[in-house]
Structure 1
């Protein structure tokens, strides 16, 4: 992992832009912070114990305190889901939006209890299987506004989805084997936080539909959160 010293805001934004879909971890230096030396990448640096995680120039997480184990856990979490680490480049600033999916607010109607949808949101987390019949209604919630340009569906050729509503997609068996991005009408998904897919049937015609992996390709829409601002002088109600 390369460590770079940032000199000013322009330099910072340039490095974020150059990183693309890579995971970027930013820490902040402060000569007065003694405990930070325990977590510094070299003995010659003193680092404020505030770490902010970025992907695609968008803040995805943060951590306070000189907790080495906690920092390593967060880096591992975001490293695994990083587009850069998967070796895929979708171009034009597009990336796998897995990091931005709010999994505890997603749901799938007619999912099997033993093989729920959450399995399919990871490339190595198992698979999603329908329960009573071949149909599935999948609702995805993102933790912020995103632009979606394509979806990826990887599944067994025989039991993978055939017709998927949202844009009346018809998936061939080759599409399911390759798991290649399937373009959507980009104009329709320029500013969304929720998306719903209705799987109508599968290629086998029987009552079991299987999805190994479901992914959304696009880009996050940078937003400003008031929680990111902190009062640095004076008291509440004072004018400056």
Structure 2
């Protein structure tokens, strides 16, 4: 049995495991010993734990953990619910191995072992693990200090190349709602003026970024660059597939701009289809 696969026997264990998982993806299988489809997919679920070692897999019997099942709105088995930082990302009902693996891949991230940072914002998560890095782009980045170095707090930084301006294009793996962000950088050449655009069909150029009306414009202070929470216009950022950040200038007019860390905070738009909530078929007494 993989070390990231756990069988829960008590309600209290559920919240403990969610808390201990931190920024890792948690996949919870709400199951029943009396459910035929549950038993058929059980070995597949355990195999998923070996296949995705940077996630946590919890097997929860709804009869032993009735409180946990009820609190999560479980009405049929098997039900798979996905969490990160104790926040519910998605849910899936039914014993379809291919669909289950597809959802895990969707929420897992790039598999390089990175975890979401703690946001300190209840109900919202660090969306960086939900970024499709293959679909991201940065204009005017330095070869030695590219965009990817600013997507983690582990070290490194993004630096502009020929002048102080940057365009960051972040593509998400699913639709998200944006709540706020954090940007860290030095007080001299950290970014100052940001223009935010959403759902662009492609990366915009600098002329377009200068002239177009953004969904939000932000002026950062040196205090903001210490990692202060920067509120976003949440009501206007409810169904975002990509985010473009135009860095217009920096704090002192220095030749280049540095960003040591960028965190985008929000939550996924629920993409669960109504068909996911059909009652599990099987013999009488097999589903709950």
> Do these two structures clear the TM 0.5 threshold for a shared fold by scoring above it?
yes
Q: Distance in 1 between matches of 2:134 and 2:239?
A: 21
- Residue 81 in 1 paired to residue 154 in 2? no
* TM-superposed deviation, 1:113: 1.0
Inter-CA distance 3–110: structure 2 relative to 1 (3 Å threshold) = same
Inter-CA distance 47–189: structure 2 relative to 1 (3 Å threshold) = closer
Inter-CA distance 145–6: structure 2 relative to 1 (3 Å threshold) = farther
Q: Distance in 2 between matches of 1:213 and 1:223?
A: 29
- Residue 174 in 1 paired to residue 203 in 2? no
> Larger relative CO (CA 8 A, sep 6+): 1 or 2?
2
Alignment of 1:58-77 (within 5 A): 58=89
Inter-CA distance 215–195: structure 2 relative to 1 (3 Å threshold) = same
* TM-superposed deviation, 1:5: 2.8
* TM value normalised by structure 1: 0.67
1:83-109 CA distance string (max 9 Å, x none): 4xx4x4211x11111110111111111
Instruction: Find the counterpart in structure 2 of residue 122 from structure 1.
Output: 152
Query: Among 146, 152, 161, which residue is 2:191 paired with?
Result: 161
Instruction: Find the counterpart in structure 1 of residue 65 from structure 2.
Output: none
- Residue 100 in 1 paired to residue 98 in 2? no
What are the ranges of 5 or more consecutive residues in structure 2 without an aligned counterpart?
A: 56-81, 92-96, 99-107, 197-215, 282-288
Inter-CA distance 4–22: structure 2 relative to 1 (3 Å threshold) = farther
Instruction: Find the counterpart in structure 2 of residue 50 from structure 1.
Output: 48
Aligned-pair RMSD on alpha carbons?
Answer: 3.8
Q: Check conservation: 2:5, 2:46, Cα contact below 8 A.
A: no
Alignment of 1:196-215 (within 5 A): 196-215=244-263
* TM-superposed deviation, 1:222: 2.5
Size of the aligned set, in residue pairs, is 197
- Residue 187 in 1 paired to residue 239 in 2? no
* TM value normalised by structure 2: 0.57
* TM-superposed deviation, 1:221: 1.6
* TM-superposed deviation, 1:2: 9.4
Q: Check conservation: 1:181, 1:217, Cα contact below 8 A.
A: no
Inter-CA distance 89–119: structure 2 relative to 1 (3 Å threshold) = same
Inter-CA distance 133–78: structure 2 relative to 1 (3 Å threshold) = closer
Q: Check conservation: 2:146, 2:157, Cα contact below 8 A.
A: yes
* TM-superposed deviation, 1:126: 1.0
1:51-77 CA distance string (max 9 Å, x none): 4753232259xx99xxxxxxxxx89x5
What are the ranges of 5 or more consecutive residues in structure 1 without an aligned counterpart?
A: 37-45, 65-73, 234-240
